[in-house]
Structure 1
């Protein structure tokens, strides 16, 4: 048995009007193959380039181990120079990743290597973020807490991406008080005996290569596996509707703080409870015993 996935469509030379009508307004994912064709980054951005221009910058890196007990859920595994991390990534498979690394704050000279696309939407220009991963590293199935519309530009390497729309949440074993699916589930090789609801979910997949730009609509779930060492940039367009802004505030201020408090008070018991509830609620909603 396999996940029910179809290929994410690819387009070239799409106009602003076509993008808005066919993808942004209906909130459908698409790969825009030529969106970065005239960026310096398209030609320059690889690991050797970043080692030269940002090698001395100290960066946080994260591993694939789920937080346990009273550990913070987003604590880095270590901090090291970017050049040292690049050496690790190039040496062979590793689960160490950089994510959500703000280029504007940490490497402002790299901003000149790209520009914000003319797509008829407003970008949040204070948060261009870099994602880097080694071969075999994976990103747990999740959606972004700020409910941004994301434009994910891949440069060095290849990565596999699986997407699910918000309406598929009921099949994905969402962990209560969080924005993630159960971390124990490997979406690259799911166990349908333990997690049968996944077989009912209908999603999308693609392998992103050099120059591909993936539009990930707001609140869409995404899982990523780095097939080779990979370096990517995400530009974000934040939600503007009052309903979504309220949802963001609720997640950031109430749910996250409550979850952090319960982690401190109950430790691993809280994590185990949430995972158990994710299974119970998912199966109950679908009539699965």
Structure 2
């Protein structure tokens, strides 16, 4: 991108008034941001000529020092105890750092470096409600990096599966009203398969084209699970680029590949890549919350055939929506918990030791008393799983699901 394009994109950086409310208690940081923002403004007004000034050199030094300082503060103590303001300052600092690097050099190696910095801003920083143009800036940077770095990468388009009449041991309702859902599912805590409730999602078509995902999110770094089941000894996690994950798992036969099954599971992808939220909508059923203005947690589940979520329960209501592919689901009621042999460790105490698809009654005899319910969730379906209901999920094909959790 020529300098003029980078200058135009820099107009989306925050003004001091956008960030003042979370830097006022940090006088030195406040001074640095004022200095940097004024310098960026001078660069913009001079059409890039001010890049060569002494003030710019000082601003570059200050922004690097600021990012280093807040990186250390984020990594001091437990991450959960780090304030959002500290993480917001870190994110904004990295935004400015990216633009100083781009002003100096927009070659491929520099773009790759800036892309890594953007990942750090999103993963370690707090970019939710950061400032008014935050999402626009992220989207512009992501498209810019993708267009240059991975223009030649081509991935498959996932074929649509023909709907089949398959076993379903729970009630099925065709796009029920909120009142019907409340009376027959939510209040009775009865799982149900909801048909045609997300037919308006553009994701149902757009996300089949993995090149579309690459274009929007290919450069993002995400955590993937390695191995088909998180309770196995071989299971591990790794941070990788979405483009590398998609290329390894969706190009060719995974059985013949040198790579193990990988699963982008339970990830807050839509906070990390807000542009993807344009393709979906939070289902209206999620308004049935016990607390006013209850936040809905949105999670992404993307992977090849054979990924498994072992039998477990969640503390919140769950609406599991299938964008493409099909999954076998096995359910068990909370009343059967004593027969499901939960793990005794704190980390896995919501997960059963049994293999729900292949019961070993000799090893786990009480599981014979459990009334298991089985179904297949197909493209465009929503499965309502009440809180504390046990569920096992296995992908029968390449699959992309979105879950909505609420209380």
Q: Secondary structure at the match of 1:128?
A: strand
2:292 equivalent to 1:161: no
Distance 1:58 1:110, change over 3 A: same
Distance 1:221 1:23, change over 3 A: same
Q: Tell me the TM-score normalized by structure 2.
A: 0.52
Cα deviations across residues 120-155 of structure 1 (Å, max 9, x unaligned)? Answer: 5148546211011221121111112xx110111011
Q: Secondary structure at the match of 1:77?
A: strand
Structure number with bigger Rg: 2
Distance 1:65 1:113, change over 3 A: closer
Q: Secondary structure at the match of 2:394?
A: strand
Cα deviations across residues 7-44 of structure 1 (Å, max 9, x unaligned)? Answer: 12211031111110011101000111111011222222
Give ranges in structure 2 of 5+ residues lacking alignment. 1-166
Q: Secondary structure at the match of 2:320?
A: strand
Shift of residue 203 of structure 1?
2.3
Q: 1:77 aligns to what?
A: 237
2:273 equivalent to 1:103: no
2:217 equivalent to 1:51: no
Q: 1:179 aligns to what?
A: 350
In structure 2, what is the Cα distance between the partners aligned to 1:21 and 1:117? 17
Cα deviations across residues 134-187 of structure 1 (Å, max 9, x unaligned)? Answer: 21121111112xx110111011211111111100111111123411111xx322
2:290 equivalent to 1:128: no
Which of the numbers 180, 187, 194 marks the counterpart of 1:25? 187
2:231 equivalent to 1:66: yes
The answer to whether the 8 Å contact 1:174/1:181 transfers is yes
Aligned length: 225
In structure 2, what is the Cα distance between the partners aligned to 1:189 and 1:67? 15
Output aligned runs, 1:78-93, within 5 Å: 78-90=238-250, 91=252, 92-93=254-255
Distance 1:28 1:157, change over 3 A: same
Give ranges in structure 1 of 5+ residues lacking alignment. 239-289
Output aligned runs, 1:116-265, within 5 Å: 116-119=282-285, 120-122=287-289, 124-125=294-295, 127-144=297-314, 147-176=315-344, 177=346, 178-182=349-353, 185-238=354-407
Q: Tell me the TM-score normalized by structure 1.
A: 0.72
**Structure with greater helix percent:** 2
In structure 2, what is the Cα distance between the partners aligned to 1:214 and 1:155? 12
Distance 1:125 1:104, change over 3 A: farther
State the structure with bigger RCO (CA 8 A, min sep 6), 1 or 2. Answer: 1
In structure 1, what is the Cα distance between the partners aligned to 2:352 and 2:284? 34
Q: Secondary structure at the match of 2:392?
A: strand
In structure 1, what is the Cα distance between the partners aligned to 2:334 and 2:205? 35
Distance 1:229 1:16, change over 3 A: same
In structure 1, what is the Cα distance between the partners aligned to 2:400 and 2:295? 20
The answer to whether the 8 Å contact 2:168/2:376 transfers is no
Q: Which runs of 4+ in 1 moved over 6 A?
A: none
In structure 1, what is the Cα distance between the partners aligned to 2:381 and 2:403? 12
Shift of residue 95 of structure 1?
3.1
The answer to whether the 8 Å contact 1:60/1:76 transfers is no
Shift of residue 114 of structure 1?
1.4
Cα deviations across residues 45-78 of structure 1 (Å, max 9, x unaligned)? Answer: 225132232111111111235366xx9xxx8522
In structure 2, what is the Cα distance between the partners aligned to 1:6 and 1:201? 17
The answer to whether the 8 Å contact 2:318/2:406 transfers is yes
Distance 1:219 1:45, change over 3 A: same
Q: Secondary structure at the match of 2:222?
A: strand
